[in-house]
Structures are given as C-alpha cells and as structure tokens.
Amino acid sequence: MGADSGPGAPAAVPWRKVLYERQPFPDNYVDRCFLEELRRNIRVRQYCYWAVVRETGLIAQQVSCVAVFLTLWSYMEQGDLVPSAVLWVCLGCALLGYGLYEILGGSCVRERTRLADLQSSTIFLAFTFGFSPVLKTLTESVSTDTVHAMSAVMLLAHLVSFPYAQPSPPGSLSLNAALFGSVCLASRLPGALHTFTMLSCAVLVFALWPCLLHRMREKAEWSFPWAAVLVCLAGVRGLGSLWPEGALLLLLALLTLTLVCPLLLVHLQRHKDNIHGPWDEAEIREDLSRFLN
Amino acid sequence: MVLKIFFPQCCNTADSGLLVGHWIPGHNSAVVLAVIHYPFIPGQVKKYLSELQSQTQVDLTVLGSWSMPKEGQEGMDSFLKDLSTIFPQKCWLQLSREIGKRGFICQVVQNNGKLLQDQEQKNGDESSEGDKIILIHYDQRKVMLSQLHPVQDVGQKSDIEPSELRLVFQTVAQSQPLFFLDKYDDGPLKLTHWQSEGREASIIAELLKQASVPVCIFLTWLLSLWHWFCMVLKMLFISSKLSTCVQSGYRTVHFKTVFSPKKAATHMEFMRKANIFVSFLLDIALGLLLISWLYRENRISKLADTLVPVADRVAKELQELLEWLMGAPAGLKMNRALDQVLGRFFLYHIHLWSSYIHLMSPFIERILWYVGLSACLGLTFALSVLSDIVALLTFHIYCFYVYGARLYCLKIYGLSSLWRLFRGKKWNVLRQRVDSCSYDLDQLFIGTLLFTILLFLLPTTALYYLVFTLLRLVVVLFQGVIHLSVDFINSFALFAIGQRICRPYRLAEGVKFKVLCQEPGTPLHLMMEINPLKCSSVLRCYRTPTYSCYPKDSWAALCKKLFVGELIYPWKQKTDKTD
C-alpha cells in the first residue's frame, strides 16, 4: 500500500479515521497519515554482555550440579566411598546450609516455622530409610543399559524444565525428574545404606541447594558468581578424576554456554524487528500498588 | 365407486332368504354373515337382530335378499323385491344365482330408487367410472378364528384407523353369538352359516374346560404359599446369586400367569399362557428324560467319584501355574520379592481349598443323588443347578480374580494420581478437570518415591491380574452358555410355532385374492385366502419375555474396565420390574 493511491481527489475536508461517517473519499483511499502511529522496537532492551554472562552462570552451575551428583554415584558404585562417611558429610552440609540460609534471610518473615522444617526432614529421613530396601530391589530385573538410559533422560528433563527464572520453590517436574533418575541410579548400588545415602545426596543437591543459591543471590549479590564458579570447578574436577575426556567436554560445554551464547544473544539483538501500534492490547502504565494496602 | 361384498363360502348353496350382515363404516363394503330362510316373521327378525346387537356390539342389519332358484318356489323374486320396503336400508342388495352359471347376479338398489348395475355403461364412455361390484368369498370359520397381525385389541384405543381388512376380521370374530342358532334348530328363525356344515364338539375338551377352573383356584392358592416362602428366602443375599433360586422365582411368576382363574381377555394373553404352559410341559418332559438317563446304571455314583479327582486336578494345575509365575514366566523379569509374596499368598489359598474339598468328599454322592432328583422339576432346573455347582467348584478362581483385580485397580489409580503429581498437576474435583498445583517439598518427594515404586512393581501385578482374569473369563463363559440355553428353553414360543404349523390360518399376516370367475354380466368374484404369518415373525412376536442374559457393557466398555481393573460381571440379568 503506498501513499495517496486511487483516483480520489482530496477534498477540502480532511480525511478522518472513522467508520461511522460518510466521507467524500473512495473506499480504497489511503491517506498521508497512514501508518504514522507505527513504532518499532520500543521495548527492546539493550543487553550488556557481562550482565548476561553473569546470569548464565545459573545454568552452568546447574549442569555442574548434575555432574557432581553423577561423580558421587560413580564413586559409591565402585566402592571407593563408604556410605556412612558420605552420610555424615551430607548431614554436616545440610546443617551448614540451613544455618547460612537463616543468617542470610534474617530480616525476612518466615513462611514456615522451625517445627515444620523439622517435621519435613523427619518425614523425609524416615520414609527414605524405611523404603530403601524396597528401592534397592526395584530395578533388579531391568538391564543396566535401560537403567542408564532412563536416568540420563530424566536428568536431561530436569535440566530442561528447571525454573531458572524463579528457582526458589523448585518446580515439580524438574525436581521429580531428578529424584526419579536418582532412584533409578541408587537402586543399582550394592547395599540398602548406599541407596539411602544416595537419595539424601540427591535431595541435598537438587532440592535444597537451589533454594540456598537463590537466597544468596537475593541477599549477597557478590557471592553468587563465586559460588557458581566453585560448583563448576568441582563438577569438572570430579568428572576429570573418572573420565578425563568427559571433563574436557564438560569444560567446553560450560565455556560455550557461559561465554559464547551471551555473545550470540547480544549480537543478534540488532536483527530484532518488533512493531507496535494502536492495535496492541492496552497496557496499564500506572502504579496499582496503592490498591494493595 | 367400487362396492365390495364379503360373502361366506358356506352360503353359496343356501336356500333363498334374507342376507344378514354388517356395513363397514367408512368403506364402501358389506360383510354378509348369515342367511335367514323362509318362513320368517319380519318382526321376529328385527327383535332377534336387536338382541344380538346388544350382545355382540356389532351393528347387525339386514343387508338384502338372496335367491337360489329351486323347483316349487317360483314367484320368490317378486316377493324378495317387496321385502326392501319392510327393512328400510340405504342400500338393498339383491344377490341371485342361476342354475348352470357359476357367477352370481347382483343388483343394488339405493335409497333413492336408483339402480346400480354391474354392467358397463351402454354408451361406452370410458371416462365415467362405472359402478363396480366385487364379490369376495371367504371361509367363515377360518376368518372367525384367525388373528390379524400386528395385534390390535378391540377395546384398545389406537391412533391408527383400523384398516378395512381388520374391520372385516373383527366383525366376523365378534359375531360369534350369531352362529349359535342353526337351520336345524327348532326355533322361529332358521339361519345358514359355517356351523351348518357340521358342528364339532368333543366331550373331553368340554370336561377339561369345566374341570380347569377349580384346579386353577387350588393351584393359585398353593402358589401364594410358595411365593410367601420365596419372599422369606429372598432376605438371604445369596439367593440372588444362585441361578437356581432365580429360575425358581421365575417359574413361580410363570405359574401365576398360567394358573390364574381369570380367563384370558386378549389374544396376546391367551398365547402367552399357552406358550408358558407348553414350554413348561416340554421342560418337565426333558427333565424326566434326563433323570431316567442319570439314574440308570448307577451313573450318579460314577459322577460323584469323578468329581473329587477333577477338583483336585484343577487345584494342582493352579498350583503349577503359580509356581511358573513365581519363576520367570515367559522370560519376563518380575520383581522377585513381590512375586514371592503374591505367589505364596495364593498357594496358601489353594491349600485351604483342597483340604475343604477332601473334607466334603464322603458326602458328595448323597448330595448329588438328591440334587439330581431336582431335575424332575424341569431341564432348566437341572441346568441351573449345574451352573451353581460349577460356580461353587471354581470359587477359589473367583477369589483370586477379586484379589488380583483389586490390587491392580489400586495400583493403576495410585499411578495415575502420582503421575499428575509428577507433572505438577492435580485433579480438580469441582471442575472435573486437571489443574496445575504447587506442591510442598515433602509432598513432591514422597510422591515421586511412591510413583517410582509403583511403576516398577507394575509388571508383576499386571501379570497376576492378567492370568487370573483369563481364568475367570473362561468360567464366566461356560456359565454364560448354560444361562443362554436355559433362557432359550424359557422363552421359546412352542405353542405359537405349533399353531403356525398345524393351523396356519389362526395367525394371519394378511390375505391374498384369487380370481374365481370373471364373466360379463356378473360381478367379479374373488376368493380371499389367509396368508399365514412367517415363522420368524411368529417367534419374534410371541417370545416370552425372560430375564434374558445379555452383556451389560459393550465390547469397548468391557475392555476399558478390564484395563483399569474394575471388577466385571459380564452377564446382567433383568429383574421382573423391567419386563
């Protein structure tokens, strides 16, 4: 549609964009002010490269968490780690993490009482301990390849469906997939105590650690990159002790994820072409928080 | 306009006289029922006809005159013509026969004196409708006894106008009191109708009819006692499960219908009574045949001797099946611990069952002997007892099926609910749909653990469920076959089929016409013959309604129930209320 096309001669009356009046213009008349209100890219954010790199750290550290977990499992399966020792370490870490959580969230109003927390942990411990003999025999008749494939799929699903934007209450599907995968792996271990230990580790790594990380990001912004880097290093190092090529691959993946992908994102921003106009949905601009109190 | 006159065959050779019959309202036709001979007094004729009208509810009138030429009766024709003044009619029919000719001559005089003739118009004008007369001959006795299908009762109010044929049949059937007086009786009036050809009577039939009423009253009293006894028994839950009790209750209802002292009012009631009675007799006869075969050559004790080893064999086969399941059946990988638990549980049940059978074995022969006697009540009873015995002998299969199904159903239900938890969703009972839900950490954790456990234990439970369901289905199929045959014996309309074969004119579907005589100068003569009902229609129409065993669910619903683990009762029996 170009500008003024059509055989209509502009009359003395200016053209108005209304439909309820008869105007002396033909039906296919295109006015000069056509598409005046078109706006392009009015809400495009300009990303800063290093800020994006910082945010990507979350994804990288989640991948490394999975690597750490797999390392632990592999060691326990080979019999290099004694389950009771690992159990004590887990307990220590949990208490440490809980303390840190409390310190960092000092000024916040608590959602759950300490009693509720104690209750949850008791239920969890009792349940897992009670069911670990059953869990141990679950995959006895399933072949090893199937078990490994199932766990891999489940952990991948965990990574894909993890709520990176709001990780504090862990999303249902991601947590469940991670726990399912860890149960599959844990049932391959030689003893019931091994199974119990593995599950405790899984809960620690997949359920409790994201909450602590989120709290750290909120309260002590400077600590987050250090924590992410620490986890990534632990993952690479752990994998390296088992399978050096794998460690190399993981390192490459992490570097790509953290350094190359943000570059791509920032680079491709200039191809953005969003158009906005009077046809968009109405957005409420004023501040409505005054209605909340 | 075509005038149809229905003329009975028995009056073809009657002496001259008056035609008595009925004009069909709404259709241009008349039915001749009888001929009143000379000498008669017109006043008495009128009185007789009005008496009969009140008795039969049929509008009987004098239709016209009939003249059969004989020696010594000349001058009859003029006398007959004058009669039309005595009996005022809208239309006066004058039928006459000539010696040597097959056809009748028919003249119709209308009220205004106009003469309708059967000859074609002299002027040869094709366009004007010549008034035609058609004489339709019918066999009076057959039409009187026949019932036109589909059955519409006389007193019934129906929306459909009865057709002309139906009206003709109804008229002849309702005019039975007309046929009591005959030309051989000593009375003021001498009539000719189908009875004139010869009256048939049978002393035995009359005696039976007289004796049946007190017998019926006595039997009804007995039945009421029995019914009260059955009511007491119905309190027991088990009586509705045993097919013998169901069958006996059903037969009681039948007898009530048959032995009620009230005479059957409509044709359908009469047929139903007759069918039930005849099928009951057949049942008893077959049952007695069975007894005579069973009790000869000591077959009962032979049967009892083979019963216990058969039960033992079944138990042993089940045991071997369970041992196979507890191993690695068909190469499937089962969860060993659960396998062992379930297998041992079922093995213990079988052990209990076999010891019970061995405990009962000394009494089996005696029990069978008395139970076999119940076959004298009918073959259906014997089959019901057989079905119950089979149900009792395979009771352990039924128990296993229930256990397996319940376990499987629980597992499927739990799995579906936990799968929703896995995805972070929940079932909204209010809106009957799946909604998202934010669960607590410990809920998520326990939910996932249970989901994993249930999922991995599914193959084991599913296999046990499959095996026991198949066994149960085999038993159910066998029982179903027995029930179907019982049902068939109960509902087969033997009396109706017998009537259709021996006396086909009683069940009429329609009529067919044959041309008898088509001479110029005489009206068209047609012979009306009754078309009997087809055998398949007879069976369909007169089938005694029973508690027919029909599958409760369609195939798709049954498969779905099997998949989910709901208990199935494939054969549903209608109660009497829905009959």
B372 and B443 in one domain?
yes
In 3D, which of B390, B403, B407, B388 has the Cα closest to residue B348? B403
Residue linked to tokens 């990380």: A213
B152-188 residues labelled b (16+ CB within 10 A) or e (exposed) = eeeeeeeeeebeeeebbbbbbbbbeebbebbbeeeee
Q: What is the mean pLDDT of residues A230-236?
A: 94
3-state secondary structure A244-264: HHHHHHHHHHHHHHHHHHHHH
**Total H helices, total E strands in chain B:** 16, 16
Among the partner-chain residues B421, B442, B449, the one whose CB lies closest to the CB of A120 is: B442
B214 and B165 in one domain?
no
- For residue B138, what pLDDT is reported? 86
| B464 CB neighbour count, 10 Å cutoff | 24
The answer to whether the beta carbons of residues A180 and A116 sit under 8 Å apart is: no
| B472 CB neighbour count, 10 Å cutoff | 21
For residue B421, the chain A residues in CB contact (below 8 A) are 172, 176
* CB-CB under 8 Å, A127 with B446: yes
In 3D, which of B426, B16, B359 has the Cα closest to residue B190? B16
* CB-CB under 8 Å, B423 with A173: yes
- For residue A180, what pLDDT is reported? 93
E-only strand ranges, A120-247: none
pLDDT tens-digit readout, A275-293: 888 877 777 777 778 777 6
Among the partner-chain residues B424, B451, B453, the one whose CB lies closest to the CB of A173 is: B424
* CB-CB under 8 Å, A172 with B423: yes
In 3D, which of B493, B256, B253, B248 has the Cα closest to residue B382? B248
The answer to whether the beta carbons of residues A195 and A73 sit under 8 Å apart is: no
Among the partner-chain residues B334, B444, B453, the one whose CB lies closest to the CB of A134 is: B453
User: Phi and psi for B402 in degrees, rounded to 5?
Assistant: -65, -45
Among the partner-chain residues A141, A142, A172, the one whose CB lies closest to the CB of B444 is: A172
The one-letter code for the residue type at A84 is S
B436 and B314 in one domain?
yes
Last residue of a domain, which of B262, B296, B330? B296
Residue A31 lies in a domain: no
d(CA A53, CA B56): 110
In 3D, which of A255, A247, A258, A236 has the Cα closest to residue A68? A236
Range of the domain at B487: 298-492
d(CA B392, CA B339): 28
B94 and B133 in one domain?
yes
- For residue A22, what pLDDT is reported? 87
d(CA B535, CA B499): 10
For residue A141, the chain B residues in CB contact (below 8 A) are 333-336
Regions of chain B short of the pLDDT cut 70: 71-78, 80-81, 84, 88, 111-131, 153-160, 183, 185-187, 197-201, 237-240, 261, 264, 331, 547-553, 570-579
Tokens of B2: 């075509």
Among the partner-chain residues A123, A169, A183, the one whose CB lies closest to the CB of B442 is: A123
B241 and B327 in one domain?
no
Range of the domain at A175: 49-268
For residue B449, the chain A residues in CB contact (below 8 A) are 127-128, 131, 135, 179, 183
The answer, yes or no, to whether the previous bond of B570 is cis (omega within 30 of 0) is no
Among the partner-chain residues A142, A171, A179, the one whose CB lies closest to the CB of B448 is: A179
- For residue A241, what pLDDT is reported? 93
DSSP state of B37: E
B473 and B341 in one domain?
yes
* CB-CB under 8 Å, B449 with A183: yes
| A288 CB neighbour count, 10 Å cutoff | 8
Q: What is the ipTM of this complex?
A: 0.81
Most A-contacting residue of B441, B458, B461 (CB-CB within 10 A), to test interface: B441
For residue A128, the chain B residues in CB contact (below 8 A) are 449
Residue A9 lies in a domain: no
In 3D, which of B7, B52, B13, B46 has the Cα closest to residue B181? B52
Residue A252 lies in a domain: yes
Q: What is the mean pLDDT of residues A27-31?
A: 84
Distance from CA of B433 to the nearest CA of A (A): 19
- For residue A138, what pLDDT is reported? 85
Question: How far is residue B532 CA from its own chain's centroid?
Answer: 18
B480 and B348 in one domain?
yes
Q: Please indicate if any CB of chain B lies within 8 Å of the CB of A191.
A: no
Give how many domains chain A has, as a whole number: 1
Residue B542 lies in a domain: no
The answer to whether the beta carbons of residues B542 and B493 sit under 8 Å apart is: yes
The one-letter code for the residue type at B35 is V
Integer Rg of chain B from CA: 38
* CB-CB under 8 Å, A171 with B447: no
B188 and B210 in one domain?
no
Residue B284 lies in a domain: yes
* CB-CB under 8 Å, B453 with A131: yes
Residue A14 lies in a domain: no
For residue A171, the chain B residues in CB contact (below 8 A) are 424
Last residue of a domain, which of B457, B492, B527? B492
For residue A124, the chain B residues in CB contact (below 8 A) are 442, 445-446
For residue B446, the chain A residues in CB contact (below 8 A) are 123-124, 127
Q: Please indicate if any CB of chain B lies within 8 Å of the CB of A126.
A: no
Most B-contacting residue of A129, A141, A187 (CB-CB within 10 A), to test interface: A141
In 3D, which of B307, B314, B402 has the Cα closest to residue B364? B307
B315 and B383 in one domain?
yes
User: Phi and psi for B94 in degrees, rounded to 5?
Assistant: -125, 100
Residue B529 lies in a domain: no
Residue B566 lies in a domain: no
In 3D, which of B481, B540, B490, B547 has the Cα closest to residue B282? B490
Residues linked to residue B528 through DSSP beta bridges, in sequence order:
B138, B513
Give how many domains chain B has, as a whole number: 3
Residue A12 lies in a domain: no
The one-letter code for the residue type at B293 is W
Question: How far is residue B375 CA from its own chain's centroid?
Answer: 25
Residue A165 lies in a domain: yes
Q: Residue B331: closest CA among chain A residues belongs to which residue?
A: A141
d(CA B502, CA B512): 20
3-state SS, residue B75: coil
Residue B186 lies in a domain: yes
pLDDT tens-digit readout, A81-97: 889 999 999 999 999 99
- For residue B180, what pLDDT is reported? 76
Q: Please indicate if any CB of chain B lies within 8 Å of the CB of A128.
A: yes
The one-letter code for the residue type at B489 is I
3-state SS, residue B133: strand
Could you give the C-alpha distances from A207 to A23, A34, A169, A173, A174, in angstroms and in order?
67, 56, 9, 12, 10
Distance from CA of B347 to the nearest CA of A (A): 23
* CB-CB under 8 Å, A207 with B441: yes
Distance from CA of B421 to the nearest CA of A (A): 8
Tokens of B120: 């074609």
d(CA B309, CA B312): 5
Residues linked to residue A275 through DSSP beta bridges, in sequence order:
A40
Most A-contacting residue of B341, B443, B452 (CB-CB within 10 A), to test interface: B452
d(CA A60, CA A67): 11
Q: Please indicate if any CB of chain B lies within 8 Å of the CB of A101.
A: no
The H or E element spanning position B373 is helix B364-373
For residue B424, the chain A residues in CB contact (below 8 A) are 171-173, 176
Residue A97 lies in a domain: yes
Residue A7 lies in a domain: no
Last residue of a domain, which of B170, B192, B214? B192
For residue A184, the chain B residues in CB contact (below 8 A) are 452
B279 and B165 in one domain?
no
Q: Residue B425: closest CA among chain A residues belongs to which residue?
A: A172
Could you give the C-alpha distances from A161 to A172, A173, A271, B445, in angstroms and in order?
9, 7, 28, 17
Residue linked to tokens 């094709």: B126
* CB-CB under 8 Å, B446 with A179: no
Distance from CA of A4 to the nearest CA of B (A): 53
B233 and B308 in one domain?
no
* CB-CB under 8 Å, A127 with B333: no
Tokens of B165: 């044929």
B32 and B121 in one domain?
yes
pLDDT tens-digit readout, B180-238: 777 676 667 777 777 776 666 678 878 887 887 788 888 888 888 888 887 777 777 66
Q: Please indicate if any CB of chain B lies within 8 Å of the CB of A170.
A: yes
DSSP B328-373: -GGG----HHHHHHHHHHHHHHHHHHHHHHHHHGGGHHHHHHHHHH
Residue A234 or residue A39, greater confidence: A234
In 3D, which of B565, B173, B550 has the Cα closest to residue B406? B565
Residue B252 lies in a domain: yes
d(CA B190, CA A215): 122
Task: Supply the CATH number for residue B16's domain.
Answer: 3.40.140
